[in-house]
Amino acid sequence: MRVYLDNAATTPIDPSVLEVMYKVMEENYGNPSSIHAHGREARSLVEKSRKTVAKLLNTSPSEIFFTSGGTEAHNAAIMGGISAYGIRHAITSRIEHHAILHTLEALARQGTVRLSFVNVDEKGRVDLRHLEQLLKDKGRSFVSLMHANNEIGTLLDIERTAGICGEYDALFHCDTVQTVGHYPLNLGRTKLHFMACAAHKLHGPKGVGFLYLNHEVKMPPFIYGGPQERNMRGGTENVYGIAGLARALEIACEHMDAHRQHIQGLKSYMAERLLEAIPGIQFNGPLNPSESLYTVLNVSFPPTEMAEMLLFNLDINGISASGGSACSSGSDVGSHVLTAIKADPERPAARFSFSKYTTKEEIDYTVEKLKELIRVIV
**Active-site annotation, residues:** 327
CA 335 and chain centroid, separation: 16
The helix (run of H) or strand (run of E) holding residue 360 is: helix 360-373
Across 248-263, b (16+ Cβ under 10 Å) vs e yields bbbbbbeeeeebbebb
CB atoms within 10 A of CB 113: 21
Q: What is the DSSP string of 297-339?
A: EEEEPPPBTTGGGHHHHHHHTTEE-EE-PBPSSTT---BHHHH
Alpha-carbon distance values, 147 to 174, 185, 237, 293 (Å): 6, 11, 28, 9
Neighbouring-strand partners of residue 281? none
Contacting residues for 161 by C-beta, under 8 A, at least 6 apart: 126, 128, 131, 143, 145, 172, 174
CB of 123 within 8 A of CB of 93?
no
β-strand pairing of 3-4 with 114-117: unpaired
CA 153 and chain centroid, separation: 10
User: Which burial class, exposed, middle or buried, applies to 193 when counting CB atoms under 10 A from its CB (0-12, 13-18, 19+)?
Assistant: buried
β-strand pairing of 296-300 with 282-284: antiparallel
Contacting residues for 69 by C-beta, under 8 A, at least 6 apart: 198, 199, 200, 206, 207, 208, 209
The helix (run of H) or strand (run of E) holding residue 14 is: none
Q: What distance in Å separates the CA atoms of residue 322 and residue 298, rounded to the nearest whole number?
A: 9
Please provide the size of the chain in residues.
378
